[in-house]
Amino acid sequence: MIISNGPVITNDPANPFVRDGAVVVEGDSIVAVGPAAEIRATHPGHETIDVGGRVIMAGLINAHTHAYSAYARGMAVHQPTRDFTEILENLWWRLDRLLTLEDVELNAGTTFIDSIRNGVTTVFDHHSSPHAVSGSLQTMADVAGRIGIRTSLCYETSDRDGAGVLAAAIEENAAFMKKVNTGEQDMVKGLFGLHASFTLSEESLDAACAAKEGIPGGFHVHVAEGPNDEPDSLAKYGKRIVQRFDDHGILGPGTIAAHCIHADPDELALLKDSDTTVVHNPHSNMGNAVGVAPVVDMLARGLRVGLGTDAYTADIFASAQVAKILQSDHLGDPTVGFGQALQLAFVNNPKICAHHFRKDLGVLKAGAYADLIAVDYRPFTPLSAESAGGHILFGMSGSQVNDTMVNGAWVMRDRVVLTVDEADIFARSTQRAPRIWAQM
Ligand SMILES: [Zn+2]
């Protein structure tokens, strides 16, 4: 089919912008991007989809989030909660223990639908449900498959719920990775999920690494998020977190280290030398008051820093906007952060995907997967290759996404999700959430 009648922001440096453009999709991939008149002449007989002047862009990528936190929306926390450690203890570690496999299914359903509604076509999720570990990743993969969203899934291995849950988590990651990382399909991939340094002993890290031995794929782990993480690692192991993880062989191009707020220059050098991905989550970091990641410094050092939402929102446009103003405010320099925010979302998130999926994502060009969106954004100043970044950062939002295509198939048209019964999933979640709130 030919998707046309709108400006195309391709995210492809060789052909960044087409004023009246068209994208040709065949099967799961894009075969051509160019001026609409030219495309129509060279591709006769193709079905034509008219996006009504909306902006055609590549589907967005969320490089770190947690579907399991979905019930937290609107929930009150009644315990006195003063810092990040108490946020974990009073909120997240109470919530995840209550989740059943049915909740895992509902949380994945609502989070992935919310992502599609915000134009996010690829989600890297970090899952936890300590009393429903076995089968949780396949449950999420089944939901993702029904909706039609591309995902990378992992289970958060941790010592905090005892040896039985730890063993189940290790088994869940290894079995799921073996299943999804070795076949032909490219819609769901697995990473080995680790919670964080301060909830994983040396023995647990050894067991996780031993179980992963020989299985393709990296790790997905929180690194130096709270201010207590580095002192904990130094006190228990006599070394900083990134060094500790490097000693276990956890770093590498397939591994995602979320946050890295308190990583020191030696740790940043280790992350760079090992080609490890770092993911910045500005909403979450500000909301949890855990500090500001040195994103400008990280990028200057050549680190591959991507952008995630950490479940604060599903809107990557909003996340990029917050990433910009956070760096400007933190560094006291209004000129800094703009290019960096765009680099995280539109250069580095696609690069991250290249380490997990076979064809290009986050770009509209021949050979890339046909993951794309039409954004109902009406510019009132010139939109061009040069100005597109400014329009994205100051004008666009996830709620403007009108249509979402993943892998060559429409998942949402005119803001209606086509693949699943959204109203039913949201109603079941709305019915279930208050019971979880009451138990907390
Ligand atoms: Zn997280």
What pLDDT does 82 receive? 86
Query: For residue 407, how far is its CA from the centre of ligand 1 (angstroms)?
Result: 26
Query: For residue 126, how far is its CA from the centre of ligand 1 (angstroms)?
Result: 7
Q: Using CA atoms in the order 306, 311, 312, 317, what is the torsion angle rounded to 10 degrees? A: 50
d(CA 180, CA 149): 15
Q: State the span(s) of the chain assigned CATH 3.20.20.140.
A: 60-354
Query: For residue 116, how far is its CA from the centre of ligand 1 (angstroms)?
Result: 20
Query: For residue 222, how far is its CA from the centre of ligand 1 (angstroms)?
Result: 6
Fold of 60-354: TIM Barrel (3.20.20)
Quick: pLDDT tens for 340-355. Answer: 999 999 999 999 999 9
The token duo for 160 is 């905090």
d(CA 354, CA 348): 10
- Asked if pLDDT for residue 76 goes beyond 90, the answer is no
Query: For residue 279, how far is its CA from the centre of ligand 1 (angstroms)?
Result: 10
Quote the Cα angle for 358-364-370, to 5°: 60
Query: For residue 167, how far is its CA from the centre of ligand 1 (angstroms)?
Result: 21
Quick: pLDDT tens for 287-336. Answer: 999 999 999 999 999 999 999 999 999 999 999 999 999 999 999 999 99
Query: For residue 63, how far is its CA from the centre of ligand 1 (angstroms)?
Result: 10
Query: For residue 49, how far is its CA from the centre of ligand 1 (angstroms)?
Result: 38
Query: For residue 430, how far is its CA from the centre of ligand 1 (angstroms)?
Result: 23
Query: For residue 40, how far is its CA from the centre of ligand 1 (angstroms)?
Result: 45
Quick: pLDDT tens for 198-244. Answer: 999 999 999 999 999 999 999 999 999 999 999 999 999 999 999 99
The token duo for 20 is 């009246």
Quick: pLDDT tens for 100-132. Answer: 999 999 999 999 999 999 999 999 999 999 999
Residue type, 286: M
Q: 2-59+360-417 — its CATH code?
A: 2.30.40.10
Query: For residue 381, how far is its CA from the centre of ligand 1 (angstroms)?
Result: 37
Q: Sign of the C-alpha dihedral, residues 160, 161, 164, 168?
A: negative
Note if the pTM is more than 0.95.
Answer: yes
**What DSSP line would sit under 236-268, residue for residue?**
HHSS-HHHHHHHTT--STT-EEEE-TT--HHHH
Q: State the span(s) of the chain assigned CATH 2.30.40.10.
A: 2-59+360-417
